[in-house]
Amino acid sequence: MSKLNQLPHITLILLLLYSSSLPLLVSSAKCHKDDKKALLKLKAGFGNPIDLPWTSDVACCAWYGVICNSITGRVLNIDISSVNLSGTISPAIGDLPMLSEIHIQYAPLLTGSIPYSITKLPLTKLTIRFTALSGPIPAFLGELKDLTDIDLSGNRLTGPIPEPVASLPKLDRLTLFGNKLTGTIPPSLFRGQTRGDLLYLSDNLLTGEIPRSVGDADVAYIYLAGNRFTGDASFLFEGQKNTFEIDLSRNRFEMNMSSLSFTHSLNKLDLSNNRIYGSIPESVATLEGLNTFNVSFNRLCGRIPIGGNMNLFDRYCYTHNKCLCGSPLPSCSA
C-alpha cells in the first residue's frame, strides 16, 4: 500500500484517538475552581481524613460524595456518609453558591455547630445526623426559605425548636429525634400547609401540647415517642386523613380512645405508656394494613375488638391497663 493510500487510515486513527480523549477533557473541565477551593477548605476543617479522597489533582466533580451540574460544573450536592470526619464544618461550605443539598451523617467525631455561612446557599435539603454537633438549633436556618427537608437527628442538640425554623413555608419533613431538645413545638409548624410528610421528634425532652397545625397539615408519618408531651392529641385522628404511622408512646397524653376515628391508610399505631382512657374502638379491626398496634400501660377498659388483623397482636400490646379483656387477654366476665 502506498503512503498516499495510508493517509485516510492515519487520519481516521487520529480522529478516533482525539474523540476518545474528549470525555476526559470535558470531565476535567467540569470542576469549577472556586468550588474546588471551597471543598478543600471544607476537608481541612474535617481534619483532612484519609478516607475522604478529595485531592487537588482530581476534578472535584469526580470526588466521593460530590455531585455537580453537568453543564456548569458547579457543586449541587454533598453527600458524605460513614467517613472518619473530625473537627468542625468549615464556613467555607457557604462558598458553594449552587449547593442545594447537604448530607453529612455517621461522623461521631464531628463537633461544633452549623456555620451561619450556609444562609448564603439555595438549600432545599439539610441532613447532618449522627454526629457530635451540639448547642441549640440555629434560628438562622429560618432564613433558608426553600428548605423542604431538615434532618438533624442523633446529635447533641439542646434548647427549643426555633420558631423561625418551624415557620419555614416549604418545610414538609422535620426530623430531630435523638437529641436533648426542650420546650414546646412551635404552633407555627406546618401552619397553612394541607399536607406534611414527616414529623420525627422522638426521644427528646419536649413538653406541652401538640399544636393544632400538625393535625391540620395531615402529616403522613408522626413520631413523637419518648418525650413529655401532655394534653389531648385526639385531633390528630380527626377528618379524612392519609396518615400511615403514628407513634405517641412514652408520653403523658390524656384522651378518650373511645372517640377516636382511624384513617384506613393507618398501618402503625403506638399509644403505649400514656394516660389514655376509654375503650378500643371496634373500627380498629377494619384497618386492613394495620401491622403494629400497642396500647399497653394506659387506663383502658372494655373488650378488645376481634377480626381483621387483630390476631397479629399479642397480650404485651394490651398489658397494664385498667380493665381490658378478651383475646389475647383473659375472657371478659359475663
pLDDT tens over the chain, length 334 residues:
444 444 444 443 344 444 443 333 333 437 899 999 999 999 999 999 999 999 999 999 999 999 999 999 999 999 999 999 999 999 999 999 999 999 999 999 999 999 999 999 999 999 999 999 999 999 999 999 999 999 999 999 999 999 999 999 999 999 999 999 999 999 999 998 878 899 999 999 999 999 999 999 989 999 999 999 999 999 999 877 889 999 999 999 999 999 999 999 999 999 999 999 999 999 999 999 999 999 999 999 999 999 999 999 999 999 999 999 999 999 998 5
Q: Which amino acid is at 240?
A: Q
> In this structure, how many other beta carbons lie within 10 angstroms of the beta carbon of residue 98?
16
Strand duo 75-81 + 66-68: pairing: antiparallel
DSSP annotation of 256 reads: B
pLDDT at 194: 76
Q: Are 91 and 113 in contact (CB under 8 A)?
A: no
Residue with cell 398489658: 319
Please state, in angstroms and rounded to a whole number, the distance separating the CA atoms of residues 293 and 329: 15
Please state, in angstroms and rounded to a whole number, the distance separating the CA atoms of residues 213 and 171: 13
pLDDT at 24: 34
> Taking the mean position of all CA atoms in its chain, how far away is CA 19?
44
What cell was used for 330? 383473659
pLDDT at 195: 82
Q: What is the set of domains in the chain, with CATH numbers?
A: 27-325 (3.80.10.10)
pLDDT at 334: 58
Listed residue (320, 307, 311) closest to 293, CA to CA: 311
DSSP annotation of 197 reads: E
pLDDT at 125: 99
Confidence (pTM)? 0.89
What cell was used for 315? 397480650
pLDDT at 81: 93
> Taking the mean position of all CA atoms in its chain, how far away is CA 53?
27
Q: Are 98 and 90 in contact (CB under 8 A)?
A: no
CA end-to-end distance (rounded Å), the chain: 109
**Which residues, in sequence order, are CB contacts of 60 under 8 Å at separation 6+?**
31, 32, 35, 36, 39, 54, 66, 68, 75
pLDDT at 2: 45
